[in-house]
Amino acid sequence: MAKDSKTPLLDQLEEGPWPSFVTEIKRAAEKKDSAKDLLHQLERSYMDRIGHWKHGGIVGVKGYGGGVIGRYSDLPEEFPAVAEFHTLRVNMPSGWFYTTEKLRELCDVWDKHGSGLTNMHGATGDIILLGAPTNALQPCFDDLAEIGFDLGGSGSDMRTPSCCVGPGRCEYACIDTLDLLHSVTMEFQDELHRPMFPYKSKIKISGCPNDCVASVARSDFSVIGTWRDSIRVDSGEVTNYANEGMDIQAEVVDLCPTGCMKWDAGAKKLSIDDGECNRCMHCINLMPKALRPGKEKGATILVGGKAPIVRGALLSWVIVPFMKMEPPYTEFKELVRKIWEWWDENGKMRERLGELINRLGMRAFLKAVDLPPVPQMIRAPRANPYYFWDPEEVK
Amino acid sequence: MAKDSKTPLLDQLEEGPWPSFVTEIKRAAEKKDSAKDLLHQLERSYMDRIGHWKHGGIVGVKGYGGGVIGRYSDLPEEFPAVAEFHTLRVNMPSGWFYTTEKLRELCDVWDKHGSGLTNMHGATGDIILLGAPTNALQPCFDDLAEIGFDLGGSGSDMRTPSCCVGPGRCEYACIDTLDLLHSVTMEFQDELHRPMFPYKSKIKISGCPNDCVASVARSDFSVIGTWRDSIRVDSGEVTNYANEGMDIQAEVVDLCPTGCMKWDAGAKKLSIDDGECNRCMHCINLMPKALRPGKEKGATILVGGKAPIVRGALLSWVIVPFMKMEPPYTEFKELVRKIWEWWDENGKMRERLGELINRLGMRAFLKAVDLPPVPQMIRAPRANPYYFWDPEEVK
Amino acid sequence: MAGKTDFGPPFYKDLLPPVILKNYGQWKYHERVKPGVLKHVAESGDELYTIRVGSGRLVSTDWIRDVCGIADQFCGGHLRFTSRHNLEFLVSDKNQVEPLIAHLNKEGYAVGGTGHAISNPVHTQGWIHCHTPATDASGIVKAVMDDLYEYFADSKLPAYCRISLACCLNMCGAVHCSDIAILGIHRKPPHVNHDTVRAKCEIPNVIAACPTGAIRPDPKEKSLTVNEDKCMYCGNCYTMCPGMPLADPIGDGVSIWVGGKISSARTPPKFSRLVIPFLPNNPPRWPEVTSAVRNIVEIWATHAHKHERMGEWIDRIGWERFFDLTGIPFTVQLIDDFTLASETFRSTPTFKW
Amino acid sequence: MAGKTDFGPPFYKDLLPPVILKNYGQWKYHERVKPGVLKHVAESGDELYTIRVGSGRLVSTDWIRDVCGIADQFCGGHLRFTSRHNLEFLVSDKNQVEPLIAHLNKEGYAVGGTGHAISNPVHTQGWIHCHTPATDASGIVKAVMDDLYEYFADSKLPAYCRISLACCLNMCGAVHCSDIAILGIHRKPPHVNHDTVRAKCEIPNVIAACPTGAIRPDPKEKSLTVNEDKCMYCGNCYTMCPGMPLADPIGDGVSIWVGGKISSARTPPKFSRLVIPFLPNNPPRWPEVTSAVRNIVEIWATHAHKHERMGEWIDRIGWERFFDLTGIPFTVQLIDDFTLASETFRSTPTFKW
Ligand code: SRM
Ligand code: SRM
Ligand code: SRM
Ligand code: SRM
Ligand code: SF4
Ligand code: SF4
Ligand code: SF4
Ligand code: SF4
Ligand code: SF4
Ligand code: SF4
Ligand code: SF4
Ligand code: SF4
């Protein structure tokens, strides 16, 4: 670290084995004033132990209500190149697959209009183009459109949905996550681009209960692949795992949450009582060569997941135990629309779907969207006696 | 059942192996008009499928604010002998132990003043003297006092506390439940007899975590015996259980919730990692000859248990993991007083202690009653980030 | 003596049998000799036999005198009651045990309730004495226990099974943590009697008492109105105000809850959970209730592991399997919508079909 | 082309490498070849090697071009990113695997993050770009991962360990279900700037946004006041109204949460739970945070069974034992007092000393 460095604190973050974002900012700073001012404003934050951004006003591009996050420095005199420093959220392709060609096109556009800094990717999944002045937004978007990149969501709209790698590379995928994602994104372009809801709404799609896209925790609609029939067992491969030293009793059978597996250590025979299996994936995860999900595949739909604002974080809740998921995914899309309609009609401002269901009751929700109550929806029935009767039922 | 019986429905409940309350009412009805009218009013309820009692006004005996439940028939013309049919709640002795002499005295008093019907006992534990007119209450109480029976609680007071049989007959008792109960009852006579609180307050005392008096579910103060040291093991007796056919691995070790036991089937040796034992009692319950609670005994204090009214049922919560329990039980009594004071100051009408803690927060409660936070109080730490800081702490 | 107050209950030590006084706190172990009979052995070697007898709880003074007679004959004039209202004869002379049991059998007493049995259902007043019941208490208990008597008289279940009953959701029977709870419920909102309300009720208190905020002032009537959509028939308003009765022959009935537990043995205490939202009041023998209870007991007894309480069994197999095995239909009322509802929803795709 | 809208993201099929297009949905099994390297085998027998590379996520276009160059050289011009922002090189020719890794090592890329490792922490903007942060994001992540690098580069933990960071309790990093969550927190109420409030804020919306009802109108100022006792610094009001900033060099810092989980493998998803309520912001390397995280990771790694996630381990041993083993002091902030608080209290005398 040079003695006369102007960023002595940040410079320390160029050391160490983990890739350094400071190095990246510095690389961009060589070409872009905004990146340079970002670096120095950040150094100031490191000294002050406080952020130096102001609440963003509404900025955007023509025809869209979202996709851009406005941001202003609170030290614009000192750091004029980041006085306006808005980010564009660019909708990533399904599964974050790229050709180098496509990525280079993207870099060219961004070098032309913005700071040259990005997040690959944002926590929702978008490509985040990090920092451009207001007047660069429209031209930047126009150039993005040219190379086939559209904006993602922000504000009270459907946010950019995302999915796990699924059939692209994973043998566990019970649904075509990549295709479903693309189809859903295309279906709901209007909802994605024009805030129209009480608050944000997120859809995430995982191919199996491992939930590699964390849908259950951070999406209003969690779609998780599963199967209805039996785990497919290749006994020979089970034996191989055992022979290679896996302690099948301790590592697999004893950790099966339903206790539905038996391991005959002498005969090296594994048996599964599939009726009692809850498809937790553990045994399959440990022995992917020997065990595979069943063949009658589909998805469980859960709703309501979200972060803590305003009434506390929620994990999504099962509302459809099993739905076939085949193009054009009409049943799923119709369900989403129906649920949005109910939410839109009943939700207060800044009330996510899960909070609305909590406020009005799961029963009202199920009735409104016409789903039958089944025990798979619950962990346990109610423990309190405060339940309602329809006067019709009391005769 | 006689064809011309006037209680054809109730008569059917005289059949069958379980003791019949109808038979009991009929026995009393032979001597008492009120019992007879009770029988017939009840038959009417069986026909109408509806109760025939009116909300009770306030009735009682001199010097006391509680102990009597007022009750009036809503068919006083038809059943004049139960037009007024109040019950007296009589404080039972610790552990519901009686001499026949004492019980006969009680019967004599009740035959003199009331219906001759009782509940042995009420759900709170009192002797319930079931049904007397208003003018009989005072004389009845005077005669009760004569034979040494005092009233129990009702209304917004301390309710009659109760305890398990404990050291009277149970080898598991870690505290002297009978003595503690008597001492507490005597200490809080004023609180028991004169409603002074926002709502009812209950104390129940069990000698060990089996909780045979269900304190955790139905008392604002649950006192449950426990120990701090190691389970006492008589290895010879363990072996005997095994020899007599107990499958110690399956029935004991595999059901131990902490997994802290090991059974060497060959050597017939049981070992316990006492540091990890949570004193659930299961192993002791199964092998009382072989295993016994440790020697360093005391109680865990839990508070807040209650039925659903108004905000939902609660189980009591640990607030003191371990308290020595020796006469005169000063520490416990002082804690109870302190908690009552806080509740009295802050509680709304009809707000039980547990609900108040829920409303104001466990932290406010602990601070007010000066108890240190320890992890034994919780099942898990908070999952939401909505916590407060004292400005003093933020410096 | 008039005016004497606050003297408290009889002193327990004056009521204990000699064998207990002698061995107080010095009990060493116990054995379950046979159904209904416990043997406690003290450090001193002394033995105490307990013979447990079922009680209808609602008993006459004649009955008390009867059992006192028996206690005089066999137990030196000592007896006790249990926390579940059973009667216990305390016998210190081993030779008296069998004669006592023979006598009890001859006189028709119900001996049992120990060990892995169904003991006396804790219950409440019902139509006998309360003003808010949605059902009777003693009647259902009698019908259910007649039906399940074999499980009281014998200890043949996988584990304890505690049945309780409360005739309204005040839950005086503390049913909320029972293996099987029978709970009276109302299903119709209170019917407001304006005259009574005006005469007898403090309007702000009644409004405040409603957990769901269903009650509003009715300024025109100087009384109250109930928003029927919000009312879940808890009867709190009626407790505060006699002008708001909600009992109704059609509306009232019984709900069934399962899987609760008090003891901390193996697993912590648990609340009971709703499985049958409504069964009609069908006195005198409530056949719908007795058969629902028997079905649950028997399915549990058939499927549970040894020492596995109802709730522990259900935790192991899952609620979806419970509904499957018992054949009980899953209805929307079972899904929680009160304060902590979200804790009961399933946040995982792992469940059984 | 101006005015073209709603055309959506690039079509994924146009971006998949040939081996994936050919074997799409036909993958048979995978092996974890070594840390950072996965091998997927298709029904057809085709193999696909994935080499995973850690990314700082905040990257320049130069970096993107660099990795594109590598992908051109070794992967036929194809690459992808993961749901945790790692970079993955997709190699269909087995012979390219080792040369690629050698190249990556030479160029200083971080290969790892597969299997029982600590993968890339999902994180957020922090002082880089957001207006509500209580801490920086990228800086802490860099410091923590430098410190824990061995667990990224090697797969030597008992199970997955997911670390996430969010710079305020909006939790954009979705940290609430992480094995270890690092969460920025404010500890001082918003400082009301009346002029800004008057000029820029819709007062009713701001009031409505406060989860604790701490905000009242201030009619005199035509602005707002905050009841400081009720404020828990969520920053909701600031999101609605720039006149209520709450950032503060002393007040702001970091909290640590543990035991969350997303996957349903073995046990259902779980929330993370607070174990350290506050650590100061100490840039550039937040030593208090890195050592707190390392301590937790190591205690877990030492004590957990194989395949036992952080939360599963804690569930087995109990929270009291967790605090014991880690030496983390138990403070009153850890006790819940929000809506579902009572669910977190202990209703049993069974716990460990
Ligand atoms: C950029 C991003 C963080 C990142 O560095 O990756 C982000 C940044 C912001 N989030 Fe977020 N959120 C981002 C993903 C998330 C996620 C994760 C996810 O989507 O999977 C969550 C949790 C999941 C969820 O939605 O529940 C998330 C939960 C929030 C919340 C709380 C929402 C709630 O219901 O609890 C807010 C508060 C709000 O909406 O006012 C919020 C608000 C914000 C705002 C807009 C701040 C504000 O109040 O104006 C941040 C703008 C920062 C900036 O200047 O760029 N952000 N936010 C992520 C979006 C990138 C992308 O599009 O790919
Ligand atoms: C007699 C008894 C039932 C019985 O048949 O055994 C009983 C009877 C009544 N209870 Fe109870 N409760 C009785 C034990 C209980 C218990 C069990 C216990 O104490 O262990 C509970 C549950 C534990 C608890 O307190 O949480 C109980 C919870 C209630 C409640 C709900 C309290 C709550 O906070 O949820 C009410 C409602 C009220 O207070 O308005 C209530 C109210 C009533 C009233 C006074 C009805 C009323 O609202 O006016 C009943 C009078 C009936 C009558 O006419 O005799 N009773 N009540 C029990 C008292 C006998 C005794 O003293 O031994
Ligand atoms: C007499 C009584 C105490 C009293 O002061 O009256 C009592 C007495 C004994 N209980 Fe109990 N329990 C008594 C009510 C309870 C209750 C309360 C209740 O049912 O309302 C419970 C909690 C029930 C629950 O968990 O829901 C209770 C949970 C236990 C347990 C734990 C059972 C379990 O595995 O969960 C044991 C241990 C055992 O059974 O080995 C136990 C064990 C015992 C022992 C063996 C203790 C001993 O060493 O003497 C006693 C004989 C039990 C038997 O019946 O075989 N006692 N016991 C109560 C008899 C009530 C009755 O008439 O049936
Ligand atoms: C590439 C990626 C999907 C994607 O579309 O990007 C992915 C890929 C795989 N996951 Fe995952 N998971 C990915 C994020 C996740 C997440 C999400 C997260 O961490 O935010 C989870 C949930 C984490 C949680 O529970 O908190 C996740 C939970 C799992 C599990 C369950 C682990 C467990 O025991 O709880 C498995 C099974 C296993 O590890 O055997 C799994 C298994 C796998 C397999 C083995 C699936 C397969 O057969 O190909 C893949 C390689 C895993 C590895 O790294 O060794 N994947 N996986 C994600 C890589 C993120 C990264 O860069 O590290
Ligand atoms: S969620 Fe399942 S299908 Fe998707 S990548 Fe993860 S393991 Fe594969
Ligand atoms: S998927 Fe899970 S529940 Fe099913 S057999 Fe495998 S380990 Fe058991
Ligand atoms: S609670 Fe414990 S001490 Fe009391 S009777 Fe029951 S088993 Fe014995
Ligand atoms: S008391 Fe419970 S936790 Fe302790 S050793 Fe016995 S069974 Fe295990
Ligand atoms: S449960 Fe209800 S109806 Fe029954 S006695 Fe208690 S308050 Fe009365
Ligand atoms: S019965 Fe209960 S919910 Fe209905 S109005 Fe009365 S107090 Fe309210
Ligand atoms: S977590 Fe908070 S501070 Fe960080 S990016 Fe999200 S909203 Fe901004
Ligand atoms: S920071 Fe949150 S709690 Fe505090 S006043 Fe603002 S909105 Fe309310």
- The string of DSSP codes covering A220-265 is SEEEEEEESSPPEE-HHHHHHHHHTT--IIIIIGGG-TT--EEEET
Cβ–Cβ pairs < 8 A, chains B and D: 170
Are the C-beta atoms of D189 and D228 separated by less than 8 Å? Answer: yes
pLDDT, residue A71, reads 95
SS3 A140: helix
Q: Do B313 and A384 touch (CB under 8 A)?
A: yes
- Separation CA D280–CA D55 (nearest Å): 26
When CB atoms are compared, the residue of B279, B366, B385 closest to D183 is: B385
The answer to ipTM > 0.90 is yes
Chain mean pLDDT for chain D: 96
Q: What is the CA radius of gyration of chain C?
A: 24
Whether A260 is in the pocket of ligand 6, judged by its Cβ within 6 Å, is: yes
Burial class (CB in 10 A: 0-12, 13-18, 19+), C219: exposed
Residues of D in contact with A173 (CB under 8 A): 25, 27
Q: Do C318 and A278 touch (CB under 8 A)?
A: yes
- Separation CA C143–CA A49 (nearest Å): 72
β-bridge mates for residue A118, sequence order: A129, D59
For the CA of B199, the closest atom of ligand 2 is 39
Lowest mean pLDDT across A257-271, B192-206, C220-234, D84-98: C220-234
β-bridge mates for residue B301, sequence order: B223, B320
- State what percent of residues in chain D have pLDDT above 70: 99
Residues of C in contact with D268 (CB under 8 A): 346-348, 350
Are the C-beta atoms of B130 and B114 separated by less than 8 Å? Answer: yes
Residue of D nearest to B315 (CA): D347
For the four alpha carbons of A273, A274, A280 and A282, in that order, the dihedral sign comes to: positive
Whether A217 is in the pocket of ligand 5, judged by its Cβ within 6 Å, is: no
Are the C-beta atoms of D310 and D161 separated by less than 8 Å? Answer: yes
Question: What amino acid is encoded at A126 in this protein?
Answer: D
Q: What Cα–Cα distance (Å) separates residue A163 from each residue in A150, A167, A211, D309?
A: 18, 11, 9, 23
Cβ–Cβ pairs < 8 A, chains A and C: 170
Q: Residue C174 — pLDDT band, cuts 50, 70, 90?
A: confident
**Nearest alpha-carbon partner for C288 in C277, C300, C279:** C279
For residue B310, whether the previous peptide bond is cis, meaning omega lies within 30 degrees of 0, is yes
Ligand 11: centre distance to CA A120 (Å): 17
When CB atoms are compared, the residue of A111, A117, A169 closest to D27 is: A169
Are the C-beta atoms of B166 and B207 separated by less than 8 Å? Answer: yes
Are the C-beta atoms of D83 and A144 separated by less than 8 Å? Answer: no
SS3 B332: helix
Residue of D nearest to C346 (CA): D268
Cβ–Cβ pairs < 8 A, chains B and C: 355
SS3 A100: helix
Instruction: Assess B390–D contact: CB distance below 8 Å, yes or no.
Output: no
D325: left (phi over 0), alpha (psi -120 to 50) or beta: alpha
Lowest mean pLDDT across A75-79, B169-173, C88-92, D199-203: D199-203
The residue of C256, C343, C346 whose CB has the most chain A CBs within 10 angstroms, and thus the best one to mutate to test that interface, is C346
Q: Do C61 and B193 touch (CB under 8 A)?
A: no
- State what percent of residues in chain B have pLDDT above 90: 94
**Nearest alpha-carbon partner for C81 in B86, B70, B106, B288:** B106
- Separation CA B174–CA A255 (nearest Å): 36
Q: Do B382 and D232 touch (CB under 8 A)?
A: no
Chain mean pLDDT for chain C: 96
Question: What is the distance in angstroms between the Cα of B394 and the nearest Cα belonging to chain D?
Answer: 6
Tell me the two tokens of residue A35.
Answer: 């990146």
Chain B residues 285-324 with CB within 8 Å of chain A: 308, 312-313
For residue D53, whether the previous peptide bond is cis, meaning omega lies within 30 degrees of 0, is no
- State what percent of residues in chain D have pLDDT above 90: 92
Tell me the two tokens of residue C180.
Answer: 């099987």
Residues of C in contact with A209 (CB under 8 A): 348-350
pLDDT, residue A58, reads 83
SS3 B343: helix
Q: What does the DSSP assignment read for C222-274?
A: TEEEE-TTT-----HHHHH-TT-----TTT-EEEEEE--B---SSS--B--EE
Residues of B in contact with D271 (CB under 8 A): 383
- Separation CA A173–CA A178 (nearest Å): 10
Residues of A in contact with C185 (CB under 8 A): 385
Are the C-beta atoms of A261 and A272 separated by less than 8 Å? Answer: yes
Q: Which chains, if any, share at least 3 CB pairs under 8 A with chain D? A: A, B, C
Provide mean pLDDT across the span B215-239.
97
Instruction: Assess C336–A contact: CB distance below 8 Å, yes or no.
Output: yes
Instruction: Assess A103–D contact: CB distance below 8 Å, yes or no.
Output: yes
Q: Do C348 and A384 touch (CB under 8 A)?
A: no
Question: What is the distance in angstroms between the Cα of D318 and the nearest Cα belonging to chain C?
Answer: 13
**Nearest alpha-carbon partner for C53 in C11, C14, C92, C81:** C81
- Separation CA C213–CA B224 (nearest Å): 37
Q: What is the pLDDT of residues D198-227, one digit of tens each?
A: 998 999 999 998 988 999 999 999 999 999
Q: What Cα–Cα distance (Å) separates residue A114 from each residue in A77, A117, D10, D66?
A: 20, 8, 21, 19
pLDDT at position D113 over 80: yes
Whether C275 is in the pocket of ligand 10, judged by its Cβ within 6 Å, is: no
Are the C-beta atoms of A46 and D127 separated by less than 8 Å? Answer: yes
- Separation CA B191–CA B182 (nearest Å): 14
pLDDT, residue A311, reads 87
Instruction: Assess A378–C contact: CB distance below 8 Å, yes or no.
Output: yes
Pairing of strands C27-34, B261-264: unpaired
Q: What is the pLDDT of residues C317-333, one digit of tens each?
A: 999 999 999 999 999 99
pLDDT, residue B1, reads 35
Question: What is the distance in angstroms between the Cα of B281 and the nearest Cα belonging to chain D?
Answer: 9
Nearest CA to ligand 3 atom 61: C84
Instruction: Assess C343–B contact: CB distance below 8 Å, yes or no.
Output: no
* Number of Cβ within a 10 Å radius of residue D62: 15
- Separation CA C167–CA C183 (nearest Å): 6
Q: Do D269 and C347 touch (CB under 8 A)?
A: yes
Tell me the two tokens of residue A153.
Answer: 């969501």
pLDDT, residue A395, reads 83
Provide mean pLDDT across the span A252-275.
96
Q: Find where tokens 């509404």 sit.
A: A58
Q: What is the pLDDT of residues C151-160, one digit of tens each?
A: 999 999 999 9
- Ligand lying nearest the CA atom of residue A275: 6
pLDDT at position D78 over 80: yes
Q: What is the pLDDT of residues D3-54, one digit of tens each?
A: 799 999 999 999 999 999 999 999 999 999 999 999 999 999 999 999 999 9
Q: What Cα–Cα distance (Å) separates residue D289 from each residue in A48, D170, D183, D324?
A: 18, 20, 11, 19
Instruction: Assess A82–C contact: CB distance below 8 Å, yes or no.
Output: no
Q: What is the pLDDT of residues D255-309, one digit of tens each?
A: 999 999 999 999 999 999 999 999 999 999 999 999 999 999 999 999 999 999 9
Residue of B nearest to D279 (CA): B394
The residue of A100, A121, A192 whose CB has the most chain D CBs within 10 angstroms, and thus the best one to mutate to test that interface, is A100
pLDDT, residue D2, reads 52
Q: What is the pLDDT of residues A290-335, one digit of tens each?
A: 999 999 999 999 999 999 988 899 999 999 999 999 999 999 999 9
Q: Which chains, if any, share at least 3 CB pairs under 8 A with chain A? A: B, C, D
Question: What is the distance in angstroms between the Cα of A52 and the nearest Cα belonging to chain B?
Answer: 22
pLDDT, residue D269, reads 98
SS3 A90: strand
- Separation CA C336–CA C150 (nearest Å): 35
Q: What is the pLDDT of residues C293-318, one digit of tens each?
A: 999 999 999 999 999 999 999 999 99
For residue D284, whether the previous peptide bond is cis, meaning omega lies within 30 degrees of 0, is yes
Which residues, at least 6 apart from B59, have a Cβ–Cβ distance to it below 8 Å? B68, B70, B86, B134, B137
SS3 B331: helix
DSSP D124: -
Q: What is the pLDDT of residues C18-63, one digit of tens each?
A: 999 999 999 999 999 999 999 999 999 999 999 999 999 999 999 9
Ligand 10: centre distance to CA A63 (Å): 51
Q: Residue B57 — pLDDT band, cuts 50, 70, 90?
A: confident
pLDDT at position D1 over 70: no
Question: What is the distance in angstroms between the Cα of C65 and the nearest Cα belonging to chain D?
Answer: 40
Across A52-61, C337-346, D241-250, D323-332, which has the greatest mean pLDDT? D323-332
Q: What share of chain C is helix, strand, coil (3-state, %, to 5)?
A: 35, 20, 45
Provide mean pLDDT across the span A164-182.
98
- Separation CA B288–CA C40 (nearest Å): 10
Q: Do A378 and C346 touch (CB under 8 A)?
A: yes
Q: Residue D178 — pLDDT band, cuts 50, 70, 90?
A: very high
pLDDT, residue A5, reads 63
Are the C-beta atoms of C255 and C281 separated by less than 8 Å? Answer: no
Instruction: Assess A386–B contact: CB distance below 8 Å, yes or no.
Output: yes
Q: pTM score, two decimals?
A: 0.96
Q: Mutate which of B169, B177, B210, B219 to test ligand 7's pocket (most atoms within 8 Å of Cβ)? A: B210
- Separation CA A20–CA A308 (nearest Å): 30
- Separation CA B289–CA B310 (nearest Å): 45
For the CA of A286, the closest atom of ligand 4 is 40
Instruction: Assess D352–C contact: CB distance below 8 Å, yes or no.
Output: no
pLDDT at position D104 over 50: yes
The residue of A384, A387, A394 whose CB has the most chain B CBs within 10 angstroms, and thus the best one to mutate to test that interface, is A384
Tell me the two tokens of residue D325.
Answer: 């083993």
Burial class (CB in 10 A: 0-12, 13-18, 19+), D240: buried
The residue of A12, A96, A170, A278 whose CB has the most chain D CBs within 10 angstroms, and thus the best one to mutate to test that interface, is A96
Q: End-to-end distance of chain A based on CA atoms, in angstroms?
A: 83
Q: Do C268 and D340 touch (CB under 8 A)?
A: no
Q: Find where tokens 């371990």 sit.
A: B322
Alpha helices, H only, chain A: 8-11, 21-29, 33-48, 100-113, 134-146, 177-187, 189-193, 215-218, 235-243, 282-286, 330-346, 353-360, 362-369
When CB atoms are compared, the residue of A38, A51, A289 closest to D247 is: A51
Q: Residue C218 — pLDDT band, cuts 50, 70, 90?
A: very high
Q: Torsion angle, CA of C1/C6/C12/C15, rounded to 10 degrees?
A: 20
Q: Residue B3 — pLDDT band, cuts 50, 70, 90?
A: very low
Q: Find where tokens 């840390």 sit.
A: D35
Q: Residue C240 — pLDDT band, cuts 50, 70, 90?
A: confident
On the CB side of A346, how many CA atoms lie within 13 Å of its CA? 20
pLDDT, residue D88, reads 98
Ligand 4: centre distance to CA D114 (Å): 8
Q: What does the DSSP assignment read for D294-349?
A: HHHHHHHHHHPPTT--HHHHHHHH-HHHHHHHH-PPP-GGGS--STTGGGGB--SS
Q: Residue D100 — pLDDT band, cuts 50, 70, 90?
A: very high
Instruction: Assess B384–A contact: CB distance below 8 Å, yes or no.
Output: yes
